[in-house]
Structure 1
Amino acid sequence: MNSPTNSQKTVSDDDEIDYSIKPELYDSDLDDKDEQWMAKKRDGRTSDAVLSCPACFTTVCLECQRHEQYVTQYRAIFVVNCKVDKDRALQYNATPSKVGKRRRDSEEKETHSAESERVNSVVCSTCSTEIGVYDSEEIYHFFNVIPSEP
């Protein structure tokens, strides 16, 4: 039977770590410092969630409000790491079509054009994943994000 050579020996990481000295990358107060930084950024305002990009997990919003009906959608005014794609304008129909009600074609065209809104696509500035839209009232509407507790 062959005896293992030095390169084949299994060595536990615990055997190599010197616990008598403090690790240089560890900060036991880091959570408290992060909480203070977030409180300073929010300036006393509350948020329903902190939003992140679903592809690269980059934080895109620190203050947002959850949609009342669609719980996976959020709106915000102040964002970080987001880019509005001015080249990609989308048409949004603000009023869903009335099913079962009869209308004249002229009435439907007038209502449709008056209540539709142009919005621009919003992408993550890190990885360019589409995460929401930006409307004419300068509000960001996020629908493709990962929320976490504030």
Structure 2
Amino acid sequence: MQGVGGEHAASQQRPTESGVEPRPANPWELISSDDEIDYSIKPEFYDPLLDEKDEQWMNKQRKGRTSDAVLSCPACFTTLCFDCQRHEKYVTQFRAMFVVNCSVRTDQILREPSKRKRKSKKLIDSGKIQQDLHNDVIFRPVCCSVCSTEVGAFDKDEVYHFINVIPSNS
């Protein structure tokens, strides 16, 4: 009877085309997966030119313009914009005119009140109040068309203002 680690010499070998090949000392070691891959067959999911094709597609989308970032939805990481400008003051905000995978909610209105000076109550009449409401800046919510997460706003000049997005280098 042999010790715990000992085995017969015959069990340490396995047959091959050229004779007998010694097995690894530890029977729990796995054989490399490289031994199982047939490199004579072209891989069906590999394209060495894929990076160049992606770059050409992106240049076609941007039409020669440069962008400050590529914007993605924070919930599902869907690409929302390839061509945008970063806000001058608020670095986490962006504006764009051309977007993908976005939907504007026409059933909701977001208002930004116009900045007006305080006037005495006797000078304000109902007509003046209605005029001030029309001077307010009106936005409509913009949502990701995949997961419906609100990602920004759309103004009357047809500019998208992205606030809740993930920017990446372009």
TM range (shorter): 0.7 to 0.9
1:115 shift after superposition? 5.0
Structure 2 counterpart of 1:123 = 143
Q: Which amino acid in 1 is paired with 2:162? A: F
Residues 31 and 68 of structure 1, relative CA distance in 2, 3 Å threshold = same
1:128 shift after superposition? 0.6
The secondary structure found in structure 1 opposite 2:105 is strand
The number of aligned residues is: 139
Give the aligned CA root-mean-square deviation in angstroms. Answer: 2.8
1:38-94 deviation per Cα after TM superposition (whole angstroms, max 9, x unaligned) = 112211111111111111111111111110000110001111110001112111235
Residues 126 and 13 of structure 1, relative CA distance in 2, 3 Å threshold = farther
Matched, 1:104 2:119: yes
The secondary structure found in structure 2 opposite 1:147 is strand
1:12 shift after superposition? 5.6
Q: Which of the residues 74, 94, 101 maps onto 1:74?
A: 94
> Could you tell me the TM-score, scaled by structure 2's length?
0.70
1:20 shift after superposition? 3.5
Larger Rg: 2
Once the two structures are superposed, the pairs formed by residues 19-38 of structure 1 within 5 Å of their partners are 19-38=39-58
Gaps of 5+ in 1: 2-7
Identity %: 58
> Could you tell me the TM-score, scaled by structure 1's length?
0.78
1:103 shift after superposition? 3.1
The secondary structure found in structure 2 opposite 1:86 is coil
The secondary structure found in structure 2 opposite 1:34 is helix
Once the two structures are superposed, the pairs formed by residues 54-93 of structure 1 within 5 Å of their partners are 54-93=74-113
Matched, 1:143 2:158: no
The secondary structure found in structure 2 opposite 1:123 is strand
The secondary structure found in structure 2 opposite 1:88 is coil
1:9 shift after superposition? 8.9
**Distance in 2 between residues matched to 1:118 and 1:105, nearest whole Å:** 26
The secondary structure found in structure 1 opposite 2:109 is strand
Q: Which amino acid in 2 is paired with 1:139? A: V
Q: Which amino acid in 2 is paired with 1:18? A: D
Q: Which of the residues 132, 135, 138 maps onto 2:152?
A: 132
